[in-house]
Chain A
Amino acid sequence: MGKTFSEKILGLKAGKDVRAGDVVTVSPDYVLSHDNASAIIQEFKKFGLKKVRAPEKIVIVLDHIVPASEEKYAQNHKIIREFVAEQGIRNFFDINCGICHQVFAEQGFALPGKLVVGSDSHTPSYGALGAFATGIGRTEVASIWATDEIWLRVPETTRVEIDGRLPAGVYAKDVILKIIGEGGADMADYQAVEFAGQAARKFSLASRFVLANMSAEMGAKNGYFEPAEETLAWLRSRAKADFEVVRSDRDASYKSVLKYDISGLVPQLACPHTVDNVKAVTELEGKPFHQGVLGTCTNGRVEDLEVAAKILKGKKVHPSVRLLVLPASWEVYREALKKGIMAVLADSGCVILNPGCGPCLGAHEGILAPGEVALSTSNRNFRGRMGSRDSEIYLASPATVAASAVEGKIADPRKYL
């Protein structure tokens, strides 16, 4: 019997033959953290160690509240900068780089066949590039800084086969919302998810990121795409280390195999207050909203901004709406500038923010007042996440957000494309 991607990679790392359900102790290739590194530093100090075990494996990206909006956050960043200097941690990215998940990938740490853990729940994003990547908590990162080890249970795997052809105006975001809407927010709890099928194989890198990123919203431990030519070409000039592609065996054993045909898919929305409360955009057309959010680690790549710009070109954001734009990184921002995308967004009346997490987690830059409604390309719509507990968040694709921003109410993007 063959093995899944996760069984193979965790077996390689553990140096033995493993199957789903086994518990292994492994040494990760990279350990990511962000603004929560200050809390990790606090925990690390409890060990009484002078130095971290493997500084070259530690990657820290400041992205959650950048630049600092209050003194307490400034203090947080200061603690991190001082620690990084003192410990000789070279892979540190300050407030002018972008969201950790995009920066981590652009900087060439997210590589096929690598094992990555990070103190952020959207760490599974790197499965888009063929890595095994999973989220952990702060204390656990502190422990890895000290020991260079973590225990992991080898997950069972659900294989998601996506076939058919995406209709115009329908995107990867609609695909993953549809899947989560049907399967539920716990559909893959404790499991790995492999995205396969002929449509998935053709997905662009940006689209792959959307699905891998949101595998966290299925409860998954990690998401995975088998690297394509485009993946390897993108990594060629970026890879920070040698790597070897790890693939599932053809006769691997799966916990379940789910099949989707996306040929007839229509634009989707996740309605308040859970990601699995999914409806077709057409069911909510005409609903007014107050704040649009375009960007984030889910949908803040050039491809996403480009689709929005195509809809917004020559038009204005409706006066009853404010549309916030957060490119996923400064590399994305610069490329979008060169392509003229940012000019279109600025001309249409968007508010362009520093690449970072922005209002997604409700800490700054676009907090919602009671009674307000947001329409966002981000990945979570939990109650109170973007501000008041009496506000609402709808999740959608960049095209749906852009079309809706033009009309000032939820709109179907297909008529614009």
Chain B
Amino acid sequence: MKKGRVWKYGDNVNTDVIFPGKYTYALMPPEEMAKHALEDIDPDFAKNVTPGDVIVAGKNFGCGSSREQAVACLKAAGVQAVIAKSFARIYYRNAINLGLPVLQSEEAVDNIAAGEEVEIDFASGKIIATKGTYTFPPFPEKVLGILEAGGLIEYTKRKIK
């Protein structure tokens, strides 16, 4: 299990600040998307993020547009997982479909600080942080199948074979 450094944000982090609309309607390679990740909420993020880092945020993470780049840009930036009090529903689906783990835990969010290092054990559903260990609810079977396949494209490929 790789340790990841925490980037912490508040409630209602929306898809426009994660990935601005002006970049949305042209095709762009993932490494280019990563350069704009969280641009309008934290211009330092893309410059300083390192692979394995973890985003911790409040409620309704990813509200707004259905744009999938708001997931793809974080994945391309190397973000290991997003831990939030709750997720907006399209963002949640998009994250699963692209294979970015999205973990719901109020307790973890309340107790984890920016800059600290956390470890995530997906098998047992645990987040191990400085102040304690927190659990997140297991994924529904269907969702787990998609995550295990590495995302919806692979999952669908297997299905249509």
Contacts and interface: CB of A to CB of B under 8 A. Distances in A.
Interface residues of A, number: 53
A383 B151 contact: no
Interface string B133-161: 00000001010000000011101110110
B132 interface: no
Interface string A108-129: 0000000000011101000000
A143 B25 contact: no
Interface of B: 11-12, 14, 16-17, 20-22, 24-27, 39-41, 59-60, 63-68, 71, 86-90, 93-94, 97-98, 140, 142, 151-153, 155-157, 159-160
Contacts of B39: 384, 389
Contact of A38 (B27, B59, B155): B27
Nearest to A361: B21
B21 A189 contact: no
Interface in A363-383: 363, 367, 380, 382-383
B26 A72 contact: yes
5 contacts: A143-B97, A147-B159, A361-B24, A384-B20, A389-B40
Interface stretch (A134-142, A285-293, A336-344, A396-404): A134-142
Interface in A171-211: 185-186, 189-190
Interface in A86-123: 119-121, 123
Contacts of A48: 157
B27 A382 contact: no
A73 interface: yes
A76 interface: yes
A185 B60 CA distance: 8
A75 B28 CA distance: 13
Contact of A76 (B27, B59, B65): B27
A416 B59 CA distance: 40
Contact of A23 (B60, B90, B142, B160): B142
B153 A121 contact: no
A300 to B, nearest CB: 18
Contacts of B25: 35-36, 64-65, 73, 76, 363
A119 B66 contact: yes
Interface string A12-38: 000000000001000000000001101
A348 interface: no
B90 A135 contact: yes
Contact of A219 (B63, B66, B156): B63
Interface of A: 23, 35-36, 38-39, 42-43, 46-49, 64-65, 70, 72-73, 75-76, 119-121, 123, 135-140, 142-143, 146-147, 151, 153, 185-186, 189-190, 219, 221, 274, 276, 361-363, 367, 380, 382-385, 387, 389
Contacts of B12: 185-186, 274, 276
A384 B16 contact: yes
Interface pairs A-B: 5 shortest CB-CB: A361-B21, A186-B60, A382-B16, A137-B94, A384-B40
Nearest to B40: A384
A199 B89 CA distance: 29
Contacts of B153: 43, 46-47, 139, 142-143
A47 B94 contact: no
A137 B14 contact: no
A38 B25 CA distance: 9
- Most central of B64, B93, B156 by chain A CB within 10 Å: B156
A140 B60 contact: no
B63 A146 contact: no
Contacts of A46: 153, 157
B16 A380 contact: yes
A94 to B, nearest CB: 16
A392 B56 CA distance: 26
Contacts of B40: 383-384, 389
Nearest to A77: B25
Nearest to B141: A23
B13 to A, nearest CB: 10
A137 B90 contact: yes
Nearest to A138: B68
Given A185-B60, A186-B60, A362 B21 contact: yes
A140 B68 CA distance: 10
Nearest to A389: B40
B91 to A, nearest CB: 9
Given A189-B86, A274-B12, A385-B16, A140 B93 contact: yes
Contact of B22 (A23, A190, A362): A362
A167 B52 CA distance: 55
A186 B86 contact: yes
Contacts of A363: 21-22, 24-25
Contacts of B66: 119-121, 123, 135-138
A23 B140 CA distance: 9
A189 B27 CA distance: 30
- Most central of A23, A42, A137, A142 by chain B CB within 10 Å: A137
Nearest to A36: B25
A190 B140 contact: no
- Most central of A151, A186, A383, A389 by chain B CB within 10 Å: A186
A137 B68 contact: yes
A91 B155 CA distance: 28
Given A139-B97, A221-B89, A146 B26 contact: no
